Amino acid sequence: MTDINSLLQARYGTGTSSTSNVVTNPSLETLLQHRSVRNFLPQSLAPGTLEVLIAAGQSAATSSNLQTWSVVTIQDPNRKAKAAALSANQEFIRQAPLFLVFCADLRRLTQVSQQQQTPGVALEYTEMFIMATVDATLAAQNVSVAAESLGLGICYVGGSRNQPRELAELLHLPHRTIALFGLAVGYPDPAKPAAVKPRLPLHEVLHQETWDDDIEKQKEHFTAYDNAIASFNAGEKREGIPAWTERSALRVAGVENLNGREIWNEVLHERGFDLK
């Protein structure tokens, strides 16, 4: 088993300084060694794996046990190619044997309300969309960790939000459901291994008791992280990538960087998420 401090060192890259006495275990190892995989072998998942992954997803906590999410699996190569084309045309989606599309699902509770002859008015509020998004995301992360524990690799796909109307049509999504993101799953190609990408320094995200808004400390964190990411990119032989701060600022600089996702408020209303 890998020592916890080696795992933490890899997680923070050059930005880490603290040491831990926590004894590592397989769960921590899986979590701390996560990396997105974008190169897959053309090998199908072993029989029964899909069901275990979804059961792991369903094992996540869910608000009021309402389970306001669903997932559409795509294994058919033609449909997967179409889903890839609608998801920023990313090649690894075609390559992965399994593509999961996680959906916010308020349709189920609409049906339950109808059957119980109750008005279901709460379903018209933004809160319920947030609930469905949180539920779907927790489930997806459980699926991801379960997949990684089995030696599979995963990559989330926010690109699946670029053309929400077309993706809904492809997957026959009914009213009051919407695809939130995709998840490519498959066996990692050992010839093109993915590396652990460092995260921001722990104290940049950790606020103890109350929010620590020390801007000078934050600037130090940014510098440390820009350096950690620069070392990571150098190790990956990825040249000319701007620093994390520059890249992140550019990512949110203009609406064009939303890659079509600026229509989401409109699409949510169309699909029956009223967002009152």
Ligand X SMILES: Cc1cc2nc3c(=O)[nH]c(=O)nc-3n(C[C@H](O)[C@H](O)[C@H](O)COP(=O)(O)O)c2cc1C
- Rounded distance, CA 80 to CA 195, Å? 26
Subset of residues 201 to 260 that bind ligand X, contact rule: CB under 6 A? none
Residue choice 5, 32, 35, 58 for contact with ligand X (CB under 6 A):
35
Helix (H) or strand (E) holding 181, with range, is: strand 177-186
Angle of helix 126-149 versus helix 49-58 axis, rounded to 10: 140
Residue choice 36, 49, 75, 231 for contact with ligand X (CB under 6 A):
36
Q: Is 54 exposed, middle or buried (0-12, 13-18, 19+ CB in 10 A)?
A: middle
By CB under 6 A, residue 157 contacts ligand X? yes
Report the nearest approach of ligand X to the CB of residue 218 (Å): 20
Binding mask 49-88 for ligand X (x = CB under 6 A): ---------------------------------------x
C-beta closer to ligand X: residue 46 or 249: 249
Q: Is 136 exposed, middle or buried (0-12, 13-18, 19+ CB in 10 A)?
A: buried
C-beta closer to ligand X: residue 36 or 75: 36
Report the nearest approach of ligand X to the CB of residue 214 (Å): 26
C-beta closer to ligand X: residue 82 or 197: 197
Residue choice 15, 57, 97, 159 for contact with ligand X (CB under 6 A):
159
Beta-carbon contacts of 56 under 8 Å, excluding residues fewer than 6 positions away, are 142, 143, 145, 146
Tokens encoding 121: 């008015």
Report the nearest approach of ligand X to the CB of residue 241 (Å): 12
Report the nearest approach of ligand X to the CB of residue 124 (Å): 26
Report the nearest approach of ligand X to the CB of residue 40 (Å): 13
Tokens encoding 60: 């996540």
Beta-carbon contacts of 81 under 8 Å, excluding residues fewer than 6 positions away, are 94
Q: Which residues bind ligand X (CB under 6 A)?
A: 34-36, 38, 88, 90, 155-159, 181, 197
